[in-house]
């Protein structure tokens, strides 16, 4: 009976440790590019794509490269693992998750915020209808 209780206790402790580790890995703080460079750890940066700077897909590294301006107007080159995200051209905002290395932000994920089709009409548009 005691051996069974010990095994169950070890399994429960294992699940608790796994859950805490998973939570800490998914809990990534928001910051700006200068703070991301200083921290050296995985962070999230919100901002906008700088459309007048080069953006391209590099087939050698299987990455999409673009420039992004964070919410504090700091601009940095972003190297995203994989292809360009869907709706990237019409996005009103971008959030990248990754860390700074060698003067660029290396992102493993990018989320795009698209304009809402349910935005309110202006007064001029309503009068014209």
Query: What mean pLDDT is predicted for residues 31-39?
Result: 92
Q: What's the mean pLDDT in 63-87?
A: 94
What is the rounded average pLDDT for all residues in the chain? Answer: 86
Mean pLDDT of 53-81: 94
Asked whether the predicted pLDDT for residue 88 surpasses 80, the reply is yes
Among candidate residues 120, 96, 99, the one with its CA nearest the CA of residue 110: 96
- Rounded CA Rg of the chain: 21
Q: Poorest-confidence range of 16-25, 35-44, 117-126?
A: 117-126
Q: Model confidence over 93-108: pLDDT tens digits? A: 999 999 999 999 999 9
pLDDT at 63 over 90: yes
Domains of the chain: 30-113 (2.40.50.140)
- How far is the C-alpha of 104 from the C-alpha of 54, rounded, in Å? 14
pLDDT at 52: 93
Q: Are 83 and 64 in contact (CB under 8 A)?
A: yes
């Amino acid at each position: 009976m005691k051996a069974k209780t010990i095994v169950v206790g070890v399994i429960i402790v294992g699940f608790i440790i796994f859950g805490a580790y998973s939570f800490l890995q998914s809990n990534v703080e928001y910051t700006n590019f200068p703070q991301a460079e200083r921290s050296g750890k995985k962070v999230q940066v919100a901002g906008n794509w700088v459309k007048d700077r080069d953006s391209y897909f590099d087939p050698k590294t299987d990455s999409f490269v673009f420039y992004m301006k964070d919410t504090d107007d700091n601009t940095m080159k972003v190297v995203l693992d994989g292809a360009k995200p869907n709706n990237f051209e019409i996005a009103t905002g971008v959030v990248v998750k990754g860390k700074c290395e060698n003067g660029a932000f290396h992102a493993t994920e990018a989320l795009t915020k698209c304009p809402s089709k349910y935005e309110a009409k202006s007064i001029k548009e309503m009068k014209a209808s």
